[in-house]
Structure 1
C-alpha cells in the first residue's frame, strides 16, 4: 500500500470532503476519488458513506484511519530521525579552550556526548583566554571555554566546571614539612607562571594582588606540563590547575602545600554562539554541557 494513499485518505477523513482534500493536497478531485477507490479495493471495504451532501466514515473507515494516522506519524518520525542523522554527519562544531580544559577535561566530556550523538564532528583548538575571547568576537569559533574573564565583556557566558588551584613544590622542598605557608612566603621562591593572556595566570595574579603580594622572580612558561617538570626538578614553585597535576600527585612527582587565607577557587566559563542555537545538533550540545557540566566536576 502506497503511503501517499494513506495521506489522501487521512485528509478526506479530516475534512469530510473530497474537494477540500484535493485543494489541501494540490490534487484534482478525480485523483482523490481514484486513490480512495484503490484503498477500498485493496482492503475490500467501503470507507465512506454519503449522508446528504456530506460524507462520513464507515466503521471500517474509522478502524483504518487509526492505523493510517499511526503509519503517517511513524513515517514522519523516521524522516525526522534520518534528517537529524544526516545533519549531524554534516555539521561541525568548532571549540576553542584553554589547555587545562582541552587536555584534561574536554576529552571525557566529548566522549560521553558522542556516545549519544556519534556523527557530530568537532574541531578542537587550544589557546589562552585572551585569544579565545578574540576568536569568539570575530566569529571564527562556535564555543569558547576560558579559565577566567580576563577583561570586562558584554558577551554572554555561563560558569562551566570549577576547581581549586594548587600550590605545587618539589617533593623534597622544605615546605613539604609545613601544614601551610603564608602568601608572602611565595616572594622568596622562583615562581613559574603561564604566559600573559592565560586565564590561569590572570586568576593567580589577581588573587595574589588582593593579598598584597607581587612576585619578583617570575618565569613565563607556555604550558602546564613544562611548569610541572620544572617544579619537579626543584627549580621553583607554581600555582596550577588541580586537573593538570592529578597524575603527578598520584605518582608522587610533586607535592601540594596549602596557602593560608588565599582563595584559589575558580570557574571555567562557557561562551557559545547564540545564533547557532537554531541548529538542533548545536542546541543538543549546549544543553548537554548545561545539564552535565556547569558548576560541576567533569564527567568520568
Structure 2
C-alpha cells in the first residue's frame, strides 16, 4: 500500500504526529513530510492543526475514508496472494454486532487461533447498521449481524438462531408469576437499545406483536448497561439468551414467558458480492457454519 496514505491513516487514527511516528517507527519530521506531500498532491489542506488538537478538514475526511477503503482492498489482495501459496494467514477483519461480538465471537477467535495460528483477526464491534457500512466500505472482510438486513450489494446468509426473552430483576413483581399481565408490561419502563441495532429491531417487533407501546422507555447503547439496569430494578428489557446466561445462573435476573410466544431471530454473516474470498475468510466461514452455538 502507498506509504503516504498509510502515514495519513495512522496520523488520523492516533490523533497526533508523535504517536503516529512511534507506531510507524519513523521520525516526526518524516511523518510531516508525508502529510505535506499528500496535501500538495490533493491540492487541499487535509488537517487543521493547533498546539492542543488536530482535526480533519472536509477534504481530509474524503481522503481518509477512501484511504481506508484502499487499505482494505490492499489487505484483501495480499490475502488472495497468500492463498495461492496455500496459507491460511494474514489479517482477517471481522465486524460483529454487540450480542454476537461481545458474548460469542471471543469463543470463535479462540478456536480460530488454535486451528489457524497464522491468521491475525482484528475486531470491530458496532450495531448492525455500523457493521453493514464497514463491509460496504471495504473496511471489514466479513460482518456478523443480528436480525434482518437487506442490501443489493451485500450477501447476507443466516447461520444460527438466537432466542430472546423479556428479562426482569429477580425482585420484580412479575418474576414469580406464571401468567404475565400485558397491561403490567405496558406500564413498566422498557430499556431499549438504540435504533439500528438488531436487539432494538426485535423489541419493536415484540411491541407490534403484543399490540402495545410502552408508556415509558429509555435507550442505552450497551447491552451490559441494560443488564445492570434491569438487575438494579430500573425496568425490563428484551435480551438475547446468550447475554444473560451468567445472571440466570446467579439468580439476579428472571426470564418471562409472554403469551407462550417464542421470540427468535438469526445471526447472519455479511459480505460483499464477490467471487474472491481469502483463505482466512473461507476457513472462518466454515467454522461459523459447522460449530454448534449450544456448545459454547
Alignment TM class, shorter chain as reference: 0.5 to 0.7
SS of structure 1 residue aligned to 2:104:
helix
Corresponding residue number in structure 1 for 2:228: 229
CA distance in 1 between counterparts of 2:220 and 2:197 reads 11
CA distance in 1 between counterparts of 2:121 and 2:273 reads 18
**Structure 2: any 5+ residue segments left out of the alignment?**
1-81
In the superposition, the TM-score normalised over structure 1's length comes to 0.66
CA distance in 2 between counterparts of 1:161 and 1:264 reads 14
CA contact (8 A) 1:182 1:260 kept: no
TM alignment of 1:25-36, pairs within 5 A = none
Give the aligned CA root-mean-square deviation in angstroms. 2.2
Shift, 1:261, TM fit: 4.2
| Residues 125-154 of structure 1, C-alpha deviations (whole Å, 9 max, x = no match) | 11001111122222211111111125x422
User: Structure 1's 131 and 252: CA in aligned 2 closer, same or farther, altered over 3 A?
Assistant: same
Equivalent pairs counted in the alignment come to 214
Corresponding residue number in structure 2 for 1:200: 199
Corresponding residue number in structure 2 for 1:174: 173
SS of structure 2 residue aligned to 1:177:
coil
**Structure 1: any 5+ residue segments left out of the alignment?**
1-79
Whether 1:211 and 2:207 are equivalent positions in the alignment is: no
CA contact (8 A) 2:169 2:252 kept: yes
SS of structure 2 residue aligned to 1:201:
helix
CA contact (8 A) 1:109 1:298 kept: no
CA contact (8 A) 1:211 1:262 kept: no
CA distance in 2 between counterparts of 1:143 and 1:233 reads 36
Corresponding residue number in structure 2 for 1:153: 151
Corresponding residue number in structure 1 for 2:136: 137
Whether 1:113 and 2:138 are equivalent positions in the alignment is: no
SS of structure 2 residue aligned to 1:181:
coil
Shift, 1:210, TM fit: 2.8
Corresponding residue number in structure 1 for 2:126: 127
Shift, 1:258, TM fit: 0.9
Q: Which moved further from structure 2: 281-290 or 100-109?
A: 281-290
Whether 1:297 and 2:277 are equivalent positions in the alignment is: no
CA distance in 2 between counterparts of 1:160 and 1:224 reads 22
User: Structure 1's 157 and 183: CA in aligned 2 closer, same or farther, altered over 3 A?
Assistant: farther
SS of structure 2 residue aligned to 1:179:
coil
CA distance in 1 between counterparts of 2:223 and 2:277 reads 37
Q: Which structure's CA Rg is the greater one?
A: 1
